[in-house]
């Protein structure tokens, strides 16, 4: 728990220092945050962002559908019970078939 608190405090301080320096430090008369904002403005208006958003939405929708389909599949214990119930009758049929075949083979001789 103490390590988690140290981790949160450490990254909070680092974030605070970076944000403060980004607003305070200047280059060519502009702060770094202003330079980043002006650089990112055309990218935000481009189709790349909307295409990426649509791709992520379709990916999450497909993953959600797959997860729901996986939940709808009956569990193995439920699937085994009908199979196990049908096995004795099939065994009986096979036994009778084997007896008939063996008796017909002995009758021919």
Q: What is the pLDDT of residues 18-35, one digit of tens each?
A: 888 888 888 888 888 888
Residues 92 and 43 in one domain: no
One domain, residues 85 and 69: no
d(CA 63, CA 58): 9
Question: What average pLDDT is seen over the chain?
Answer: 80
With both helix axes pointing from N to C terminus, report the angle between 2-24 and 32-45 in degrees, rounded to the nearest 10: 90
Average pLDDT over residues 40-60: 83
Please write the tens of the pLDDT for every residue from 69-100. Answer: 777 665 555 555 555 555 668 888 888 888 88
pLDDT at 105: 63
Q: Is the pTM of this model over 0.85?
A: no
Reported for 14-23, long-range contacts at CB under 8 A and 24+ positions apart, including other chains, are none
Domain count, the chain: 2
Could you tell me the residue range of the domain that residue 103 belongs to?
Answer: 80-109
Contact of 22 with 32, CB cutoff 8 Å = yes
- 40 shares its domain with 65: yes
């Amino acid at each position: 728990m103490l390590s988690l608190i140290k981790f949160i405090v450490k990254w909070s301080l680092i974030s605070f220092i970076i944000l403060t320096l980004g607003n305070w430090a200047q280059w060519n008369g502009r702060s770094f945050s202003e330079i980043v904002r002006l650089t990112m403005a055309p990218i935000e208006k481009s189709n790349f962002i909307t295409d990426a958003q649509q791709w992520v939405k379709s990916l999450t929708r497909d993953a959600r559908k797959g997860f729901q389909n996986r939940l709808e599949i009956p569990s193995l214990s439920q699937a085994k019970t009908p199979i196990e119930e049908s096995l004795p009758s099939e065994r009986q049929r096979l036994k009778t078939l084997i007896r008939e075949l063996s008796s017909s083979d002995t009758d021919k001789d």
